[in-house]
Amino acid sequence: MTNLSNPDPATSANVLDMFTVANEFCIFTEKAEKYDPQEVLQYYAKICPLLYLKGALLPVVETDEDFFGERFVNEDQWESIYNSLLSVFMTNDEFFTLSYDNTDNIPLRASISEHLADVYQDLKDFVLLYQKNLAYAKNNAVSECRKLFISHWGARIAAVLPALHAIAFPAETDDEMNY
């Protein structure tokens, strides 16, 4: 469905919402170690479903044929974000997930910090490219973010969310439940 008042899908409401949420996620992630671990946990338990929804709503955007996926976050920056998050999650960092790429369905060890650092890298690259005041840059940013949502960061959020939920909202015992 095309918005008649704004025919450019790269500046549609869904894209602007995605940009806003992605930018907030990145700003918070860059300062996560300065917050109380419980605040960090609650933040990610709430923003990750929103990011997933916003990513799923990104439109298909035509790109410059010569675009190869501009990246801004380097390995050192990723490592810094990962270590910062690891210091926050500490003993709660490890979780188990299934890989749907293999047929063994064997649970795999995973890291909340690694998953969130991967999401950060993809979203920070999107935010930085989208901020360039050029139509082709915005188009390329949206296209790449959508592509990476499908192939990478959307799956990372879907995998980490049960772990975040279990830690942020521990199950009540029968004694604690209000019937």
Mean pLDDT score of the chain: 91
Domain borders along the chain are 9-62+71-168
C-alpha distances out from residue 60 to 3, 5, 31, 48, Å: 14, 18, 32, 22
Whether domain 9-62+71-168 has CATH 3.40.50.720: the reply is no
**Position with higher pLDDT, 92 vs 175:** 92
Q: What is the pLDDT of residues 32-62, one digit of tens each?
A: 999 999 999 999 999 999 999 999 999 999 8
Instruction: Write down the residue that tokens 């704004």 correspond to.
Output: 6
Q: What is the pLDDT of residues 105-124, one digit of tens each?
A: 788 999 999 999 999 999 99
Whole-angstrom distance, CA of residue 162 vs CA of residue 107: 14
Q: What confidence score (pLDDT) does residue 24 get?
A: 98
Tokens of 121: 């890298």
Instruction: Write down the residue that tokens 């005041």 correspond to.
Output: 133
Q: What is the pLDDT of residues 131-161, one digit of tens each?
A: 998 888 999 999 999 999 999 999 999 999 9
Q: What confidence score (pLDDT) does residue 65 get?
A: 72
Counting residues of the chain whose pLDDT is more than 70, the rounded percentage is: 89
